[in-house]
Amino acid sequence: MTNWFEGWKDVTYPIFEGMTGWPGQPATDLETLSCIHCGDDAMVSVLHMSLHSGTHMDAPSHFLAQGTDISTAPLEVGIGPVRIAALTPKAEVLPEDLEAYEARTRPLEPGERLILRTPNSDHPFWLQDDFNKAYHGIGPAAARLIAKRELRLIGVDYLSVGPFASGNPQTHRALMGGGVWILEGIDLREIEEGDYEMIALPLRIAGGDASPIRILLRPAE
C-alpha cells in the first residue's frame, strides 16, 4: 500500500524578491533584520508582499463588501478531490470552453473543485517575466456558468481568475457571490488533465482579503 505522503506534487510557485506581481502593487521584498554571518545570534527576516502575490487564495472580502475574510476559509474548501481541465481558449475562458470540457469528460457537479490549465502554464516560469496583460482568465459569462454549476472551488494558472482588460471585477463577484472559492497562480506546468486529490490551505490572516497558499496534488486512485 502506498504511504499517505507519497505521490504528492507541489504546485506552489516559490516566493522570491522581484517576482512578477499585479501592476501597481508593491514589489515582493525580503528584508534581513539580523544575520549570523554578520555576527548576530540568529537569522531573522521580514517579508513584504501583497497578499495576492504568487500562489494564493482569494477571500470573498476581496470583492464583496460584506464578504468574509481569509481566516474564515473552511478546511474542506481546499482538501479533497479536484478536477484539472486542460483548456485552450482563444482569449478569455468562455462558457463553450467549459461545456466542451464537460462533453469530453463528464458534467460538473455541485460541490466539485475545478482547476483550469490554460496556455498560461506553457510559459517556462512566468513569475520571472514582465506581467502578461494577455493572460487567459475566466470571462464573466463563464464565471456565471461556474456559479450556476455550484462548484465549491475554482483555480487558475495566472495571478487573477478574471481577465485583465475588462470583466475582472465581474468575474470575481460572480464566483464569490455564488459561494465559489478562488485559487490563483497555481503552477501547472507539469500537471495533465485528470482527477486528483488536493491539499490547499491558506494562512489564518485575520482581516486578510487573500493569503499565500501551499498546494499539493496527487493523481486520484
Give bridge partners of residue 86 from the DSSP assignment: 117
DSSP state of 53: S
List 52, 56, 62, 172, catalytic entry:
62
Tally of CB atoms within 10 A around 76: 10
- Distance from C-alpha of 185 to C-alpha of 57, rounded to nearest angstrom: 9
Decide if 62 is catalytic.
Answer: yes
Tally of CB atoms within 10 A around 189: 16
The one-letter amino acid at 8? W
Beta carbons of 71 and 102 less than 8 angstroms apart: no
- Distance from C-alpha of 69 to C-alpha of 192, rounded to nearest angstrom: 32
Q: How far is CA 85 from the centre of its chain?
A: 14
Sort 212 into a burial class: Cβ within 10 Å, 0-12 / 13-18 / 19+.
buried
175 closest CA partner among 213, 137, 219: 137
Q: Which residues are catalytic?
A: 62
